Chain A
Amino acid sequence: MTNPHWGFILAAYLVTTLVIGGMGLKILFDYRGLKRELQRMVGTSPDRDEA
């Protein structure tokens, strides 16, 4: 870790992980929320019903 540019390299990997990981988590939480709402309304698993 003596290279003077390691800070930039770590920052690049950190930004990428946070942005893309955050996006993935947002999609996952959105799915869980929608599924819960639909289950409350129809009483069955929503992605097995008719469209």
Chain B
Amino acid sequence: MPNIANPTIFLSLVRRVLPWVTALTVALLLVGVYLIFFIAPPDYQQGESVKIMYLHVPAAWLSLFIYIVMSAAALGTLVWRHPLADAAQKAAAPLGAAFTFVCLATGSLWGKPMWGTWWVWDARLTSVLVLFLIYLALIALWEAIEEPGRAARAAAIMTLVGAVNLPIIKFSVDWWNTLHQPASVFRVGGPAIAASMLLPLLVMALAATLLFLTLHMMAIRNEILRRRLRRLTILAAEQSDAPAYAAAEPAR
């Protein structure tokens, strides 16, 4: 099996795999949208507003999943100091922020007609907002430190510290009395959703996960190329400075 942690092999793998994953993602998204708008029935309480859930739930799932991916990459950075783990961490943070923002925005757009309010300082909503702020802080940290290795180690430590928020988000609806509903898909006793609604939800969750994988692969490829460009720029600068140093040598 080829060592896909090698950046060159990873780039070649991305070149071969990306068109297929992209095509599968687009196909699944189209199937999902068709199921949502033409097959799935309105909810007996929420009516058509349930259609927002087909975006909100996959975005919520991804906001946590992306953080788990980032935490695994952070371990790769701290334990093995692997450049691909650094790139995976850096590439995932903006995607995590985007999906968490979608989760918060769609939740708010569902909350107004259903709860009568855009926002409440409920444990689930607040802990997801904290997750969004952690993503933003990680993006800022990556931008603040110029040397990629140092930035990766600092971001890895912050990512692992921030991981304490994940169980708080997951169990917030059980630990506190919240307005947000408890888990209805991943729960003891099986999903509490009718099959006609569960199918489009699962299709959209799978499509969103594949969409993340597609974007993540593309973003990791960018980070590898950015590091390459940085290295070449430094080499070019050193070479252009070399004659000046050589000329200055006898005078020292």
Contact = CB atoms under 8 A, between A and B. Distances in A.
B8 A20 contact: no
Contact of B218 (A19, A28, A38): A28
A47 B225 CA distance: 7
B229 A41 contact: yes
Contacts of B222: 27, 30-31, 34
Interface string B210-252: 0100010011011011101100110010000000000000000
A48 B228 CA distance: 12
A21 to B, nearest CB: 10
Contacts of B102: 15-16, 19-20
A12 B225 contact: no
A23 B47 contact: no
B98 A27 contact: no
Query: What's the interface size class on A, roughly?
Result: 20 to 34
B215 A9 contact: no
Contact of B94 (A13, A23, A35): A23
Contacts of A38: 225, 228-229, 232
Identify whether the interface residues of A are mostly helix, strand, loop, or mixed: helix
A30 B218 CA distance: 10
A15 B12 CA distance: 34
Nearest to A32: B222
B101 interface: yes
Interface of B: 6-8, 11-12, 14-15, 47-49, 51-52, 55-56, 59, 94-95, 98-99, 101-102, 105-106, 109-110, 112-113, 211, 215, 218-219, 221-222, 224-226, 228-229, 232-233, 236
